[in-house]
Structure 1
Amino acid sequence: MNTSTRYRVHISRDGQLHIDSEPHVVPDGVDPSQVVVQVLHIEAAGSGQPVLVHVQDERTATRFDMQVMPDGTTQAAGAPPAAPQPTPAGTGQPPSSLFERLAAAQAAGRAHNFDAAIVAADDILQQLTAEQGETASATLEAAQFRADLAYLSGEFAFATVSWTWLALAWFDRLGPGKRRTQIAAQNAAQAWMHLPPHEAGPLASDLVNMLMEVAAPERTATIRAQIAQRLGQPTN
């Protein structure tokens, strides 16, 4: 993602939140703007680039543009990037905020320190699941990061199962034809292709069923034929 990407945020008079027309749950006692920052920070942290946001807040009859930065801070659109604050040395304490922990996990992944990255990602995913639910947008974003780590570290069975579930979750959340669903489905199939036969066989049925559910059958015919060929089955 780059800084030309713009998200449209709408907050209704009664506090209901939509990001690009997608509804988001606002927990009791939490301001919708906090949810906006939490959701879009994961996008910014993943790309290392600010995310542009246009906000329409009916509660205050205001419209404004802002940027959500990779470190979880916000600033006015077009403002120069704020200098990152140094982390105090010698404290021996891990980063305290969810956003700092995510950035640290992503840095570990880029450095191929997958053991550390996976531990951190699992902790973040567990927290988001408990706080927002397993199919909340922020939780699904974190689950995608964890699935990426599984693929990069050679855990292809875990990656296949994760991306298969993510494709169905995005389909249920966003509806048919959405890019996130398509990417998740493609990633699941790609991970499955790396599996040895004894691991690939048991996961094939769920993978094929997912491909049939999230897209019209003709759109997944090629990949389903490749799966059947690898399994030594006749194609329909």
Structure 2
Amino acid sequence: MNTSTRYRVHISRDGQLHIDSEPHVVPDGVDPSQVVVQVLHIEAAGSGQPVLVQVQDERTATRFDMQVMPDGTTQAAGAPPAAPQPTPAGTGQPPSSLFERLAAAQAAGRAHNFDAAIVAADDILQQLTAEQGETASATLEAAQFRADLAYLSGEFAFATVSWTWLALAWFDRLGPGKRRTQIAAQNAAQAWMHLPPHEAGPLASDLVNMLMEVAAPERTATIRAQIAQRLGQPTN
């Protein structure tokens, strides 16, 4: 699936935070950098790859690059990967923090243990939805991870519905022409193409309506023509 691993972060003199020009709420008493790590760690954990972040912090008049790692740590861009920390033997304790649970879910997915990964991802998504709301950035990032798991495990109907909703959610949050919206729309169409006909038909209308809403018609004309062709509909 399509993912992005490079972001631009801007922190203003008064502590306002933007990630790729999108404003993010910084709770009282929390440093903006903590919000950056929380939001981008979800994507790093989902992909299993570091996320490169270009930071401009006007509070200290500094610019620097850093990486948010899949385990929730950060390090300077270009630094060698840190050695993984051993897990204490014999504790029998499941991962407790959000970062640990995300890392565990990502590891399960990479090992093709999709049942365990999906259970963990659903739990994380429910927590973020309850704490931050269903359209908060961190929640949407977690929903993308869950949609990726659905695609990788062959649950193409779930992936289609999830990515269709995500495209509309990112569109409502960010506005037209944004990369995350475009990626979600592409992923929804890609998942739909894998569906058998009896499952593809009922989901086609919502998919096409989403494509028409989040992008100019000429930008989605090709994929909509492919959808119509698969459904046996005229394309003119």
Report the TM-score when normalising by structure 1. 0.87
- Over 3 Å counting, the alpha-carbon distance change for 1:226 and 1:71 in structure 2 is same
Structure 1 SS opposite 2:117: helix
- Over 3 Å counting, the alpha-carbon distance change for 1:223 and 1:66 in structure 2 is closer
Q: Distance in 1 between matches of 2:161 and 2:47?
A: 24
- Over 3 Å counting, the alpha-carbon distance change for 1:194 and 1:76 in structure 2 is closer
What is the CA-CA distance between 1:116 and the residue it aligns to?
Answer: 0.5
Q: Distance in 1 between matches of 2:120 and 2:3?
A: 27
What is the CA-CA distance between 1:66 and the residue it aligns to?
Answer: 3.3
* Identity fraction in percent: 100
Contact 2:11-2:17 within 8 A present in 1 as well: yes
What is the CA-CA distance between 1:80 and the residue it aligns to?
Answer: 4.1
Structure 1 window deviating more from structure 2 (222-231 vs 115-124): it is 222-231
- Over 3 Å counting, the alpha-carbon distance change for 1:107 and 1:178 in structure 2 is same
- Over 3 Å counting, the alpha-carbon distance change for 1:202 and 1:28 in structure 2 is farther
Residue ranges of structure 2 left out of the alignment (5+ in a row): none
Q: Distance in 2 between matches of 1:225 and 1:194?
A: 16
Give the root-mean-square deviation of aligned CA atoms: 2.7
- Over 3 Å counting, the alpha-carbon distance change for 1:152 and 1:70 in structure 2 is closer
What is the CA-CA distance between 1:4 and the residue it aligns to?
Answer: 12
- Which residue of the partner structure matches residue 92 of structure 2? 92
Structure 2 SS opposite 1:227: helix
Q: Distance in 2 between matches of 1:192 and 1:67?
A: 33
Contact 1:4-1:52 within 8 A present in 2 as well: no
Q: Distance in 1 between matches of 2:102 and 2:27?
A: 21
Contact 1:55-1:64 within 8 A present in 2 as well: yes
1:91-138 per-residue CA deviation (whole Å, 9 max, x = no partner) reads 121111212211211111122111101000101111122222222222
- Over 3 Å counting, the alpha-carbon distance change for 1:147 and 1:176 in structure 2 is same
- Over 3 Å counting, the alpha-carbon distance change for 1:35 and 1:187 in structure 2 is same
What is the CA-CA distance between 1:5 and the residue it aligns to?
Answer: 6.1
Structure 2 SS opposite 1:95: coil
Contact 1:2-1:49 within 8 A present in 2 as well: no
- Over 3 Å counting, the alpha-carbon distance change for 1:54 and 1:185 in structure 2 is closer
Q: Distance in 2 between matches of 1:213 and 1:176?
A: 9
Q: Distance in 2 between matches of 1:85 and 1:184?
A: 34
Q: Distance in 1 between matches of 2:167 and 2:59?
A: 35
What is the CA-CA distance between 1:90 and the residue it aligns to?
Answer: 1.8
Q: Distance in 2 between matches of 1:62 and 1:226?
A: 48
- Which residue of the partner structure matches residue 70 of structure 1? 70
Q: Distance in 1 between matches of 2:4 and 2:226?
A: 37
Residue ranges of structure 1 left out of the alignment (5+ in a row): none
What is the CA-CA distance between 1:164 and the residue it aligns to?
Answer: 0.4
- Which residue of the partner structure matches residue 55 of structure 2? 55
Q: Distance in 2 between matches of 1:141 and 1:109?
A: 16
- Over 3 Å counting, the alpha-carbon distance change for 1:24 and 1:94 in structure 2 is same
1:151-209 per-residue CA deviation (whole Å, 9 max, x = no partner) reads 12222211111010111112222322233222211221122222233322221111110
